[in-house]
Amino acid sequence: MYVCIIFSTESILHCNEEPDRTQRNQPKPKPKSRMSETDTATQRRTRILANHFLLHEDICTPSKTTLYSSACLSYTPAEHGETISFDTREMRKILDWHNIEDRDWLFGLMMQEKLFNPIERGGRVFTIPDYEKPMHYQREMTRRRIKWLAERGVFEGWLTGRGEGWDLKRLALEEAAVVYDHSLAIKCGVHFLLWGHTLKFLGTKRHHEKWLKPTEDYKIMGCFAMTELGHGSNVRGLETVATYDAKTSEFVINTPCETAQKYWIGGAAEDAGYAVVFTQLNMNGKNQGLHAFIVQIRDVNGNPMPNIRIADCGHKIGLNGVDNGRIWFDNVRVPRENLLNSVADVTADGQYVSDIKDPDRRSVAFMSPLTSGRVTTAVTAIQGSKVSLTIAVRYALTRRAFSVTPNGPEVRLLDYPSHQRRLLPLLAKTYAMVFAANYLKMLYVKRTPRSIKNLHLVSNAMKAVFSWHNMRTLQLALHNFVYICCFQECREACGGQGLKTENRIGQMKAEFDPQSTFEGDNTYMMHQVSKSLLAEYEVNKKRNKPFKGLGLDHMNGPCPVLPSQLTSTILRSSQFQVDAFRLRERDLLSRFATEVAEYQARGENKENAFLQAYQVAEDLARAFSDRLTLESFTEAEARVPAGSLKDVLGLVRSLYAIICMDEDASFLRYGYLTMQNVAVVRKEVRKLCSELRPHALVLVTSFGIPDAFLSPIAYDWIEANSSSSAKL
């Protein structure tokens, strides 16, 4: 039993009364005894507490308090009293879109195997990575888990399969793997995608026949050695050098300085026997730009090969199941055949041949494997949001805090409007990004030489926006508003429980943090988006031709005009939402082109002019990403038949669109919305959160995350923390 103090209505009324001024200046009576001193101190503390809870400026004395006893809190399942407004299985089909059986198959494999660290909490078994163990233990377990999955055929067809079906299956299994452990997914990504796909896309028949099947079967382990200590996003600035020796038909690879050491190379510290090494190619004194070579870095016993030095990058804030390493090459010789030669080749007599004459364009072609990595990073980022939101929403439906009426029950967290505002907009954003991710996946599996440009643009944008959605916790200077990430908001929404490793959310922040910078720094990615849009804009304006591709077709029509006065009905109209997002993108692209031209008119070169106009560039990249995301949502919604599921999707879509307007200052900064309309938008956010509150549980349930991959606070958190479960 516990005792609570509740201040009565009379107390609140007395707080508004002015004290008797005739007695205000009277001297305080001296205490008669130590007991009366204690009473006075207690009363003073009570007055302070009353003033705090009643949000009253003046200290006032409650005239009466009510003491009551209450039974200890008990756990009530999240499902209790909640609305089942639609079939969650049907919603999951819309969200996951493809290979649902394959996802569930992999979930089942991991849940049934002790190797994946099942733990019992609160009468349930959870399958949660052992993050509290030392780094070397986590690495060993990641290694053993991948091998175990390989033996059961999980990676079959990841490299040797052909066609859209194999690509979609691989993406689905990657998404399922990251639900369990980001280290597991990254380690798989490094080996199968960065190492394996580079061999597949940049190599030719001689490489495919020798390397792809052993890689797919996990018989050999490879890594992707591109990043250097001195160069990350600026790949063209890499300093490692390869020189061709025609006398021996070998390339000599060298690390000329410390900044040229390969750095953050996943798999290099302990496991990888081979690496795809990216270097500048020196042919007869001429730099031919970026090229890629297969290099053996360890022998069969796991020792570094001659003239190769390998060091460990050490402990990280997250992803400690991945063995990141550093590599130096001291004039290492590799056979001529180890050049990945789909883009360029060197003949036996030392002649350099390539259909792409421009070294810069060749370098771009050699970077094509990064697109696959960015697609995977984008779509797996969404899985982290799904897990954290499912945990946070379920906890908010079972955890109570404070009562709003005397002697009344404490209120569930998710019934507070402020808590709804914390979680439900993030839920709407996650739904929207799922549909955008599905669009990105379709672009990827249906890619053609003509569509690569669009795929590169969209993957850059989505990789940045989706991982920022997960990770940004501080003020995002990029958009001049406070942008709270999904993980951080969910962590805070779970209070102290969000700090426990076994509850996953806090740890997932650290595990997913690297997504903001690997596969390309996010801010740099967004700059690339704006650059591509500007180039397309200038070409079409110069040729006076309609826009085609890059999603700019909407600019061929008349410029949208927004209503001068907004209402709830207008705000919820999908046509208004699309018009508002298109207007913003269209105007910002024009502003960006104008600003760059103005800098050039002052004597700046094109590149520096672009750098000076970075503020508009960043607003434009966000506008492009948001518009693409909204259109992906509306297209998916349009395919759903009329009914309750479609109605709820409409609410989610409206909250996504309106929260973007509420949070992005560009709508007000550039005059797309007036001050009065911004106030209407803000009120609509609260209304939509309130309307979505009854659907919160079914919306997160539709993500299809198995119970075992959530955490104890998503269920009976009281029993999970009981003394019977404690190690006393």
Enclosing H/E stretch for 698? helix 696-701
Beta bridge partner(s), residue 251: 244, 334
Rounded to 5 degrees, φ, ψ at 160 are -95, -15
User: 3-state DSSP call for residue 554?
Assistant: helix
Active site residues: 519
266 annotated ligand-binding residue: yes
Q: What's the rounded Cα separation, in Å, for the pair 696 and 689?
A: 10
Tokens standing for 374? 């960015």
Q: What's the rounded Cα separation, in Å, for the pair 35 and 699?
A: 57
Enclosing H/E stretch for 327? strand 324-329
Rounded to 5 degrees, φ, ψ at 343 are -100, -40
Q: What's the rounded Cα separation, in Å, for the pair 709 and 449?
A: 39
Taking only Cα atoms into account, the Rg of the chain, rounded to an integer number of angstroms, comes to 30
Q: What's the rounded Cα separation, in Å, for the pair 311 and 304?
A: 10
Tokens standing for 175? 């998404």
What stretches of 410-451 show up as alpha helix (H) in DSSP? 417-445
Strands 222-225 and 274-283: parallel
DSSP string covering 564-611, please?
A: SS--HHHHT-HHHHHHHHHHHHHHHHHHHHHHHHHHHHTT--HHHHHH
Rounded to 5 degrees, φ, ψ at 427 are -65, -40
- Cα-Cα-Cα-Cα dihedral sign, residues 509, 728, 72, 75: positive
In this structure, the dihedral spanned by the alpha carbons of residues 154, 160, 161 and 164, taken in order and rounded to 10 degrees, is: 110
Rounded to 5 degrees, φ, ψ at 281 are -105, 120
227 annotated ligand-binding residue: yes
Whole-Å CA distances, 420 to 108, 614, 691: 33, 34, 10
Q: How many CB atoms lie within 10 A of CB 663?
A: 18
Closest CA to 357 of 289, 422, 456: 289
Closest CA to 705 of 414, 394, 428: 394
What stretches of 305-416 show up as alpha helix (H) in DSSP? 359-366, 369-396
**Residues in the chain, total:** 728
Give the residue numbers of the binding site for FAD. Answer: 227, 266
Give the residue numbers of the binding site. Answer: 227, 266
